[in-house]
A and B are shown apart, each in its own frame.
Chain A
């Protein structure tokens, strides 16, 4: 399956641009949400571990 083709837009002054297809927009939105969730989990992880370990969160055995 090959990637969906780009839709190119011709502007009045001869400008060209990239307009994402519906499929590309949906894929980008899903990836963005997944990245946001992953970063949120990472933040939550650091927060919870800080609560568990107390002030010396970076004190750990070698």
Chain B
């Protein structure tokens, strides 16, 4: 029997990962707190908003610390995100700028014209994916939980699809469950559930459903103890994955009756 208790490596693009917990880097109470959280939960992939990075090559004495000084790019797969982009053109520009300043040619596409709910624009996301894949970027698009869009992105060469469980920062859990189940069923690239995951139990739920990974930010960043919360998420992600691989029992809507209804068939 295979030892399924040991987490199995998996891949995004041409890169192998052990951890299935991706972390975002916004909203932390300090950059030092963000750094210690990243380093203590076993995550191997972190996203960072290029809008917050210093693109000017500022001096070390600068009082406004640069977020990039707090992320060890040799330890983590750094994935710049395009947060703030309103359309494909802006997202493509941000990805190219990130590459120009020496970041990896990986990009988490976040194209949200609506700054209120930060819901992703499907049309612009597909356009940007098509352009960036041709330029050899590893593209991780953040999308609404739309199975057809997920397939279209896959065909366009996206390395993953990242459907939302609920709007960014809402902590409401996997509200799009039925649609994510279809995405997972149909996907040939990893499915990373992103956004809305507000508790370790939500992360475990996504992993039990068969998601390949989850991305968490707000719930960890605003916890009273972000390091401890990140560990709790890491454990939940691992537990959910093991449960998925072990084979969860099918759910039934009715209890098995203590007085069976079909015993007459036995006579």
A and B assemble together: no
Q: Which residues of A contact B (CB under 8 A)?
A: none
Q: Which residues of B contact A (CB under 8 A)?
A: none
